[in-house]
Amino acid sequence: MLKLFRKNQRFVSIAMAGFMILLLVSWLLTDSSTNIVDNLRMNTTTWAVSDGESISASELNDTIAEMRVLEGLGDRTIAGMGVLKEPGYWYLLVKEANASGLVPPQQETLRELSMTQMPDGVTPEGFVATLASRAQASQETVLKTLSNLTGVRRLITLVASAGRISDERLRRAAAEMTMTMDGDVLILDAGKIAGIDAPAPDAAALEAQLKAHGNTEQGQGEKGFGYRLPNQLKLEWIVIPAATIKAKLEQSPALSNVELRKYWIEHEAEFRAKEATSASPMTFDSQRDAVREKVLGQLLDAELASISKFATDRVQMDLRSVPSAGGYWTLPADWSSKSVSLTALGQELAQRFGIDAPAVQTSGEGWIQIEDIAAIPGIGTASSKRVGASDVKVQQLAAALKEFGGSPTLPTQRGVAFPTLAEPVSRDLFVVRATDAQAARAATAVDEVRADLEADLKRVAVYDILATRLDALRQIAAAEGLGAVGVTYGAVSQPFQALSEVNTQFLQFGMRMGMPIPGLGNDETAMSALVKAAMALPTDKPVADAPAVDRTVVVALPDRLAVMVAQLRGIDRMDRAEYETLAMGGRLRGIAMQDEVKDMQELFSYAALKRRHNFTTMAEVVAEPEVADPGTLGTTEGLGTGNSK
C-alpha cells in the first residue's frame, strides 16, 4: 500500500487539497447539536483485542474524542458509512491508514488548511479552535483527527482508483457481460404454483408476521411483505343525470318554431357559412333540426351550469359562520347535524329545477382506497374545473383531504362536499362528499389484513418446501424437459433469445443496463447462475451436444420466494475483434469497475475490518453512574450494552 501511495503521491496531494475544501463546506453546514457520540463511554481497563493485542480504555476515550470532532465537522462520507455508530470502526480504519503510511503529520494538515481558501473572517487557527469547542476536545485532538481523516480518505481513494482489474479479468468480465444465450425458462412462484400443500399458519405465526411487517408499505418489504394500511375513506354522492335535464328542456318555449326561426335569423350568417358545401340553398326549414339541436345544447349548458352553481353555493352557505384557518374549515363537533345533507340538497335541487330528487349513493359500509374510486361508475371519471384550469378528478380531490395530509392547491376535507363534478361523456353532475377518512397507518390487528398475512405465510411455506427439491427439479428438467416440471406445478415455460447479462446496445455508451429474464424481470442472482452455467459449457462443440444436466440451471430466489428452472439451447460468444472494439476508449473498464465498487463497500465495512484484524470488544461495559437510562447509551456492538457480543 505504501508503494502505491508513493506512486500516486501527486494525485493524492491534489485530492487532499480538494478534500480540505469539502471539509470546510461540511463544517459550515453542520448542526453540531446531534451529539451522536455523547453516550459512547466506558470505564473498564481493557476495551478490545485486535491481532492478539489488548486495546485500553484510554485508547477508546481517544477514539471517542476523535468521533466527536468528526461529528462536529459533519463529514457526510464518514457518517454515511456508519462510522459514528462504532468506535471500533473508526479505530480500525485509522489503524489501516497508519499501517499504509497514509496519515500525514499534523504540521502538513495545518499547512494544507492554511493553503485552503477560508470563508471571510475564518482563519485556519479559528477553524481548528471552533471545531475543538464544538467537540469539547483539545486543538491537538482536532488536528490529529483531521490527519487521520485525511489518511482514511487517502486509503479508500487509492484502493478505489488503483485499477485492480487485470486485462485477463477484464476480458472475462466482457465475455460474461456480452455472451448471449438462447433457451427456455420456467419460474416457479410460490404464490402461484400448484402441487404443494402447505399447512395453514397458526395464530402465533400471523401475529409474528404482522409485528415484523405491519408498518411496512404494502408489497415494499422483504419478499414483498408489507401490511401498512393506506389512506382509506368513505364517500357519498348524488347524481343529476344530464339526460333528465335535457328531456325536461325538450318542452322549453325556446324550442318553438317562432323562437327557433328568430334564432335562425339572428345567427343566419353562422349557418350560411356552410352553404358553400351544400347542394341546395340553405333555408330555415332545411336547417330547423340543426338549429333546434344548437339551441337545445345551449339551454342544457346553461341549466347544468345553474345546477352546478346552486349546489356549490348551497354547500358553502352552511360554512359562512364556520371559522377557517390555513384553507380549511374548523368544523364543530355537531357539523353533521348543521350542514345540509345530500338528501336535503337533492330535494332542494328537485324543487328548484323541476327534476326528480336524486337518491343518495355511497361507497358502502367498508373502507375504500383512493384507487378504488376509478372503478365506481360515474364518479370514477367525473371531474371539475372549478378549482383551476385543468380537470380535477374525484381521486385527486380525495387524495388531497386534510385528513391525509392536505394539499396547498386542493384544500378538501371530510364532511365538506367537493366542488360539483361532471362526467365528460354523459355530462351527468355529481355532488360528492367524504363522510369519513382514515390516514395511512400501521396494521395493528391480524383481522385488518388477515387475508394478506395468510397468503404471504403460505407463500413462505410453499417456497420452503420447493427449495428442498432443487436437485430433483434439475434431474426432472434434464431428463424430461421443462414441460414435465411445468405440468407438476401448474406453470408454463417461456423461451428466451439473445439474453445477456447486460444490454450490449448500451455498452458502447458506457452504460450497464441489465436485461430482463422472461417471467422474472431483472434479477442478479438468476442471471449470474445462467451466465456461470453458460461459461462452464465447452466451446469446441454445439451447446445442444452438451449433457442436458449441464445445460440445466436451477436456482433458488429467496427474496422473491421463487425458483428459476432454465435450460440453455444455444450460446453466442464475443470474438476478439468485438472485444477490442468494445474495450476501446476505456468505457468497458469503467463498467466492469462497477462490480469493484461493491467489493469496496465490503472491503471497508466494519465486519470486514474486524475479520482482517481479529478485532473483538470486551463483552461487558459499565455505564457511568449518573446515566439514569441505560437505553441512552446506544446499542452499538462493543460499546458496553448488555447485549454486546
Mean pLDDT in order along the chain per 10 residues (645 residues): 43 44 43 41 68 87 89 73 86 89 86 70 79 85 89 77 51 62 95 92 95 90 92 96 93 89 83 62 80 91 94 91 89 90 95 94 94 94 76 92 90 93 94 95 94 96 96 96 95 92 55 77 89 86 90 95 95 64 52 51 82 76 34 27 30
How far, in Å, CA of 132 to CA of 182, rounded?
64
Residue 223 in domain = no
- State residue 571's pLDDT score: 86
The conformational region for residue 467 under phi > 0 = left, psi -120 to 50 = alpha, else beta, is alpha
Helices (H), 276-333: 284-317
Q: Do 250 and 370 fall within a single domain?
A: yes
The model carries a pTM of 0.57
Q: Is residue 253 part of a domain?
A: yes
Q: CA triplet 459, 465, 469: central angle to 5 degrees?
A: 130
Question: What's the pLDDT at 434?
Answer: 96
The reply to whether 226 falls in a domain is no
* Residues 46 and 105 grouped into a single domain: yes
Asked if residue 586 is part of any domain, the answer here is no
- C-alpha–C-alpha distance, residues 16 and 211, integer Å: 48
In a domain, 44, yes or no: yes
What's residue 336's pLDDT? 87
* H or E stretch covering 26: helix 9-29
Distance CA 456, CA 461 (A): 9
**pLDDT of 23:** 47
Name which of 46, 66, 70 is nearest 58 in CA terms: 46
The verdict on 406 and 467 lying in the same domain is no
Which amino acid does the sequence have at 165? I
> Is there a single domain that holds both residue 351 and residue 411?
yes
User: For the chain, what is the total number of helices (H) and then of strands (E)?
Assistant: 26, 16
Residues 423 and 554 in one domain: no
Residue 208 resides in a domain:
no
CA nearest to 249, candidates 187, 300, 211: 300
Conformation bin of residue 292: beta by default, left when phi > 0, alpha when psi is -120 to 50: alpha
Query: Do 269 and 137 lie in a common domain?
Result: no
Question: How many residues are recorded in the chain?
Answer: 645
Residues 6+ apart with CB under 8 A from 406: 327, 328, 400
Q: Does residue 563 belong to any structural domain of this protein?
A: yes
Contacts of 224 (CB under 8 A, 6+ apart): 456, 560, 561
One domain for residues 359 and 430: yes
* pLDDT of amino acid 76: 67
Q: How far apart are CA 593 and CA 606, in angstroms?
A: 22
Distances (CA, A) of 274 to 287, 505, 543: 11, 56, 73
Does residue 130 sit in the same domain as residue 62?
A: yes
Number of domains making up the chain: 3
What per-residue confidence (pLDDT) applies to 503? 58
Residues 405 and 500 in one domain: no
Instruction: Tell whether 242 and 141 lie within a shared domain.
Output: no
Q: Is the dihedral of CA 216, 218, 221, 226 positive or negative?
A: positive
Residue 350 lies in a domain: yes
Domain with 546 in it: 180-200+459-572
Pair 463, 429 in one domain = no
Are 333 and 358 in contact by the 8 Å Cβ rule? The answer is no
Coil, helix or strand at residue 132: helix
For position 526, what pLDDT does the model report?
93
Whether residues 244 and 122 share a domain: the answer is no
